[in-house]
Amino acid sequence: MITLRQLSAFTLLACASLSAQAHRTFLVPTSTVVSGNAPWVSFDAAAATNVFEFDHVALKLDNLQITAPDGSKLTPENSYSGRFRSSFDVQLKQTGTYKIGTFSDGLFASYKENGQPKRWRGSAEAFAKEIPAGVTDLQVTQRSGRVETIVTNGKPGGKALEISGKGLELSAVTHPNDLVFGENATFRLLLDGKPAANVSVEVIPGGARYRQKLNDKTYVTDANGQFSVSWTQPGLQWLEAEVKDDKATVAPAKSRVSSYVVTLEVLPQ
């Protein structure tokens, strides 16, 4: 039986999570390391209050990209979108590392029309058509973001982890599928292919609903964009970073918000 004290603690945890960030997006694989002749891996994609829980909305798969070890793009199979999650399967026919994720790059605008505040979100192509003429207090921000996970079949390797040079990306110093509890892992954060220095990176282990606290940790990248993570426990880990600057690449935006999220798995020793 849950006591009043326990119920209060869970309520405080939920409120703390909501205040920290309303909803977190993530991709969850059934396994990050597999082996065999063309094994299958299933994935769930969602936005939720706590990481790896399904209580808010399914993540759209319109911009889903699956990169095989040889650099080719794969098509997901058995795709499905429900109320709380989107799901799909990928058959790993090649040996090596696969990158699975979504990438979005669009505009967010706020303005006043006839004195009434309005908000708009969409592509650069749609901006000129859908924003009415004569609006006031127009502010436009470019928003780009990645939500990824990494899976390896057999021996790690291949082209999937190559950097595109667009937006915020993670460069693996330690391979993302070679993470062990008790050992530090080192990564490099890049923005437009260059080191992203002095950026805060938040790491949250899964299972928050069972421990009454997030156990989150924050790291800051050095001048080379590098940071090292000391894992607080084995299991799935949610890593997130965000950069705000005035280097928008799409007109008429003057500012830019670049975000990156990846689901990693840390194995016990």
* Residue 179 confidence (pLDDT): 97
State which residues form the domain around 231: 4-266
Residue 17 pLDDT level (bands cut at 50, 70, 90): very low
* Residue 13 confidence (pLDDT): 38
Rounded CA separation 71/258 (Å): 24
Given a cut of 70, whether residue 8 has pLDDT beyond it is: no
Whether 66 contacts 73, CB under 8 Å: yes
Comparing CA positions, the residue from 165, 224, 166, 173 lying closest to residue 199 is 224
- To which residue do tokens 């070679």 refer? 178
* Residue 225 confidence (pLDDT): 98
* Residue 43 confidence (pLDDT): 98
* Residue 2 confidence (pLDDT): 39
pLDDT tens digits along 125-152: 899 899 988 899 999 999 999 999 999 9
- Locate 124 and state its tokens: 């650069």
Sign of CA dihedral 207, 188, 230, 17: negative
Comparing CA positions, the residue from 153, 175, 146 lying closest to residue 65 is 146
Cα–Cα distances (Å) from 259 to 36, 96, 196, in that order, read 34, 27, 12
Q: Give SS3 for 2.
A: coil
* Residue 21 confidence (pLDDT): 47
- Lowest pLDDT segment from 9-18, 20-29, 41-50: 9-18
pTM: 0.88
* Residue 6 confidence (pLDDT): 42
pLDDT tens digits along 76-128: 999 999 999 999 999 999 999 999 999 999 999 999 998 999 999 998 889 98
Cα–Cα distances (Å) from 158 to 71, 196, 197, in that order, read 8, 24, 27
Amino acid at position 216, single letter: D
State the average pLDDT over residues 41-64: 95
* Residue 269 confidence (pLDDT): 87
Q: How far is CA 250 from the centre of its chain?
A: 22
pLDDT tens digits along 204-243: 999 998 988 889 999 999 999 999 999 989 999 999 999 9
